[in-house]
Structures are given as structure tokens and as C-alpha cells.
Amino acid sequence: MHTRSMFERTSQDALPLVLLIDDDMVSREVTATVLTMNGYTVHTAENGAAALLLLSAAEDRSPALQPDVILMDSQMPGLNGTQLIGELRARSQARIYVVSGSNPPLELTAAAEGFLLKPFSAEAFRKLLDGGKPEAAVSRLDPNEPVVNAEILAQFRKLMPEPAVRQVYQAVVTDLGKRIDVLADAMARGDVAEVRRIGHAIKGGCGMAGAAEAARLGALLESEASLSGDNQLDNGAALLRDLRVATRRLQNMLDAEMPV
């Protein structure tokens, strides 16, 4: 798949031609759309093998049609990782950047020219191409904050048997996972209203269940995650990362405190 014909250059030759490799359709298409709207010509591939086919086809038609920059997701089925980077370098002179929703393995970032954390803005991409690095926002996680409010947990245990309590919190974990996916999509699209809506929902739902850490992050998303500028986007991305960590901590707490 691709956003424009694989064998056409746009009039904006000053901007690099980008090949985006990502197995997640939503992430792939949203990222491609963001970059295309900012003047880049973007070709997309859903996996490493498809990307190699595109590179071979471009070489057959004209070396000038080869991409200048390759963005590859850090985790994909099939051909991936450093092996994929090696195959890409054998077929292209493009700069290769790893993109991921979390910190990728060191050997992967060492094999590439750089790393971008999802979701990223077109401005963050431009800064990376210029040799700079987007400033990373500071984590808002508090190591002293409880994952679950002890008083609310105690109330649940008085009202219902332990398996039912676990079921409540497992439902919270499942819901957080779904909301995180939607939240990442909204951030990539710059949809401020949707980010705030999701933050409000997380604050309310997790607050009622006593999932204190996630509830506080939801409140921060609601109040702070304005995507009208790059710094705000970086802050939103940092909160998204923190929310993923908080979700894992809640699951770990369940597994330790209320094993099945």
C-alpha cells in the first residue's frame, strides 16, 4: 500500500521521499497521512518483505525513485529488527530510523540512524532529519504513588468475593488497553478534543475503581494534553507512555495480589 504512486515524484523534491514500514494499519496510515499533509511523498509497506519488494521495483524502474528515508517499526512479524535493517541497507542508501511506541532494544537503535517515539509530529520528524532530537518530556509517574487506592480495594473486598474483585480490576486493565490504542491514534491525528475526552473517561472510570495511578494520568491528559504545538505533543506522548506503564503495573498487582 502507499499514499501516492510508488513511481511518481512530487514537485516538492526538496523534501525526502519516505518509505514507512509498519504492520499496524492504523499507525501506518495515520503516520503516512500526517507526513503527506506536510509535503512529504510517502510510500508504505505492511511488513519487511513488502518493503524489499518495493525497493527492488523502484531500482528496476529508476534509482532516482529510491526513498531517501526509511521509517521502520521496531516490532513486526516476519523479517524485522537488525536483520531487516541489513536487508534494507543492501538495497538502499536511505537513512533508516526506527519508530516505536516504547524504547526499542539498544542493538536496534544502534544499527539505525536514529529513533522516533510514536506518536510523533511532522516537526519532530523534521528535527530528526536535521540532526536534532525532539526534547523528551519528563515522566509524570510517581514511584511513591500506590497503583490501587487501599481504602477502595478494602471496600470492594467487603462487598464481594475475591474473584469478583479481580474481575473488576481486570476489566479496568482491558478497558485501559483499548483506550490507549484509541488515544495513540488521536494523538497522531492531533485530535485535542478526543485526547481530552479519553483522559476524562480514564480519570472517571479508574477513579471509581480506585486505580489511583491511572486515574491521575487520565486527569493530566484531560487538563494538559493540548496538541497544538510540538512541546504539547511531546507531553502527550510522555503521558501515553506513562499510562502504558501504569496499566502494566495494575496487571502485575493483580497477578501478585489476586492470582487466578
Is 112 found in the same domain as 22?
yes
> Pick from 129, 161, 187: which residue ends a domain?
129
Task: For residues 229-252, give the mean pLDDT.
Answer: 75
CB neighbour burial string for 58-85, b if at least 16 within 10 angstroms, e if fewer = beeeeeebbbbbbbbbbbbeebbbeebb
Percent of the chain whose predicted confidence (pLDDT) is above 70:
82
Question: Mean pLDDT score of the chain, rounded to an integer?
Answer: 82
- At residue 137's C-alpha, the angle toward residues 33 and 46, to 5°, is 30
* pLDDT beyond 70 at 152: yes
Whether 157 and 107 map to the same domain: the answer is no
The verdict on 164 and 206 lying in the same domain is: yes
Q: How far is CA 129 from CA 22, 69, 70, 145, 195, in A?
A: 19, 9, 11, 38, 28
Does residue 226 have a pLDDT over 80? no
User: Is residue 221 located within the same domain as residue 185?
Assistant: yes
140: in domain: no
Domain around 189: 150-257
Asked if residue 5 is part of any domain, the answer here is no
**Spatial separation of the C-alpha atoms in residues 48 and 25, rounded to whole Å:** 14
Chain segment 47-63, per-residue pLDDT in tens: 999 999 988 887 766 65
- The CATH number of whichever domain residue 186 belongs to comes to 1.20.120.160
Is 184 found in the same domain as 123?
no
Indicate if 192 and 232 belong to the same structural domain: yes
Domain-located, residue 31: yes
* Domain CATH number, residue 125: 3.40.50.2300
| Ordered alpha helix ranges (H), the chain | 25-37, 48-61, 81-91, 106-111, 122-129, 150-159, 162-189, 192-209, 212-224, 230-257
